[in-house]
Structure 1
Amino acid sequence: MASIGQSTKPTGNKDALIRARQRAALVPELLVDALRIVNTVMAGWHGRKKRGIGETFWQYRPYTQGETMARIDWRRSARDDQTYVRDQEWEAAHTIWLWVDQSTSMLFKSSAAPVSKESRALVVTFALAELFARAGERVGYPGLLKPSANRKGAERLATAFATQTTAMPDTPSFLQVQRFSDVVLVSDFLGDTDETLAMIDDLASQGARMHLIEIVDPAEEDFPYGGRTEFIDPETGTKLTAGRAEDWRDDYRNLYQARRHALKARCRAHGGSYTISRTDHLASETLVRLHGFMTGNPAATGKMAGAS
């Protein structure tokens, strides 16, 4: 299996265009799923909650010497013996770039999963676009959409996917990413791990923060195979036959987890995050966990875990 680490395929080849059309046909249904999920988690989703310029009230706090008296809230201060100022929430738009892996490996779906990796990845990406947009953030997609604070984030991105006239490259371009941006990559990350690590380092050197969402089919993580089994690389068509697949299980799991741990450690080292989204679990769990990482409050994810 391969993913974003593979070399970019020609964007004009026939197979890629066919895949783009097939993907476009799925978009309306996936958009509906994404908006449904958004409505279940929206109550616990909020902005960055930092003090700054804006119109939305955030908090009262004690007045400190040197601050302008115009910021004092006299009505609140009259309730007790302390003087309070009224802080507004920082509403400066932040730029968030989304990217979803569209390589062939994302089509995989085992009998243990209700949806393919591609379907889960697109639903999560559309939902994130909607949640970030509703929070007032500027959402963009490399090579497809320029960052915009349009409140209908999911619909805007879904329309762009549905009307693609050329195949997207297998690897994202981050030439437009500026300092202090957040970049969210949604993929299975089964390609060249060194290339993905280098990409994380490059983005960090640009001053951006990276968040990886690993989409995983339960069969890929658990390796439930036994007996004579033929494995086929969806990217190259290469076949590999195991006489007793169960004999490969421990080595496979060790390699699989080592790849994941390397990516997770590199993301965390640069102030980013790594979230795992199994296709046999609720998509909302992924949004909740990422929200906790991005707001600097991972412990809060448990409070939102009731989303479905």
Structure 2
Amino acid sequence: MRPAPDQLRAEAEGASAGLPALMLSAERLAAALVAGAHGQRRAGLGEDFWQYRPATAGDTARSIDWRRSARTDAQYVRDREAQVAQSAVIWVSAAAGMEYSGGADRPAKRDRADLLALSLAMALLAAGERVALAGQPPRPGRVQAERMAQALVARAPLPGDEDAPPAEALRPGQRIVLFDDFLGDPQPVLDYLARAAGLGVQGVLMQVLDPDEEGFPWRGAVLFRSGSGALRHDTRDAAGLRMAYLARLAERREALSRAGRSAGWHFGTHDTTAPPSQALLWLWSVLEG
């Protein structure tokens, strides 16, 4: 049965309550980036110089660079670098654990991931690229940023502890950015990377963690629970677990980094108390190559 109009309106208003704040924050963050055009390193229509090459029979007199040609007995053409719209796909995990925040003064991991995802999307769109959330068709333009923001805000957290990007949506020529805490079962991510590598798809893994998950500050008796509550561990000596936890975290990061390198991907980490601009600048730099 369809919901009543009043109920539907209330649900829509609740889902969009955070949209203006997310859009404003993302716009400010994206504006800090210098969004240049993305060259394809081949001759074509563009503004940036790429190379000089000897003139051939098909070149017109207008295409000859006479200043360069005057230095030798040959004639040269000034090729420009082709600049065409690329396609970027962004995925943000909705697993229950992404809702975690270790303090009222910190954003939840998913809130920070949403901000980074939308800011990056806006910067890429401003550079003329086509962008989308995973599973959706990449499109250009300002309206696409608004669509993505609405989708991010309206999406409900999953009831379980696991989430994975849709491997069936991978397409050759795309660049992918995945935001997650990557604390769950790593196998779906490793399988995704293997499939991406087979299609020649490159991208970035961005691990977003709360400082508590980075440093494990707990002491004494603590009941640890996963985001969904399905996994629990009760201890009377949390401090005694710290070294083992940090070793496991380092091991997980190394495994993801190694798998990423094998697939031609980058792996980065972000602490939710760090300025989001730091993560955004790093993401931009690795995507620019």
TM range (shorter): 0.7 to 0.9
Higher-Rg structure is: 2
Change over 3 Å in CA distance of 1:162–1:72 after alignment to 2 = same
Q: Which residue of the partner structure matches residue 51 of structure 1?
A: 42
For the Cα contact (< 8 Å) 1:97–1:139, is it kept in 2? yes
Farther off after superposition, 89-98 or 276-285: 89-98
For the Cα contact (< 8 Å) 2:102–2:210, is it kept in 1? yes
Farther off after superposition, 197-206 or 184-193: 197-206
Structure 1's unaligned 5+ residue stretches are: 1-17, 297-308
Q: Which residue of the partner structure matches residue 137 of structure 2?
A: 146
The partner residue of 2:23 within 7, 20, 31 is 31
For the Cα contact (< 8 Å) 2:41–2:50, is it kept in 1? no
Change over 3 Å in CA distance of 1:163–1:242 after alignment to 2 = closer
Does residue 245 of structure 1 match 2:235? Answer: no
Partner AA of 1:260 in structure 2: R
Q: Which residue of the partner structure matches residue 189 of structure 1?
A: 182
Q: How many residues align?
A: 274
Partner AA of 1:105 in structure 2: G
For the Cα contact (< 8 Å) 1:229–1:241, is it kept in 2? yes
Q: Tell me the distance in 2 between the aligned counterparts of 1:167 and 1:62.
A: 55
Q: Tell me the distance in 2 between the aligned counterparts of 1:20 and 1:185.
A: 27
Does residue 61 of structure 1 match 2:51? Answer: yes
TM-score, normalization by structure 2: 0.83
User: 1:248-294 deviations in whole A, cap 9, x for unaligned?
Assistant: 11100000111111011111111111121211111121121122222
Deviation, structure 1 residue 174:
3.2
Question: Over aligned residues, Cα RMSD in angstroms?
Answer: 3.0
Deviation, structure 1 residue 243:
1.3
Q: Tell me the distance in 2 between the aligned counterparts of 1:97 and 1:238.
A: 32
Of all paired residues, the percent bearing the same amino acid is 27
Residues 1-308 of structure 1 correspond to what in structure 2 (within 5 A)?
A: 24-41=16-33, 43=34, 45-48=36-39, 50-54=41-45, 56-59=46-49, 61-64=51-54, 66=56, 68-70=58-60, 71-74=63-66, 77=68, 81=71, 85-111=77-103, 114-143=106-135, 145-162=136-153, 170-296=163-289
SS state at 1:284 partner = helix
Partner AA of 1:93 in structure 2: A
Q: Tell me the distance in 2 between the aligned counterparts of 1:38 and 1:49.
A: 23
Deviation, structure 1 residue 124:
0.7
TM-score, normalization by structure 1: 0.78
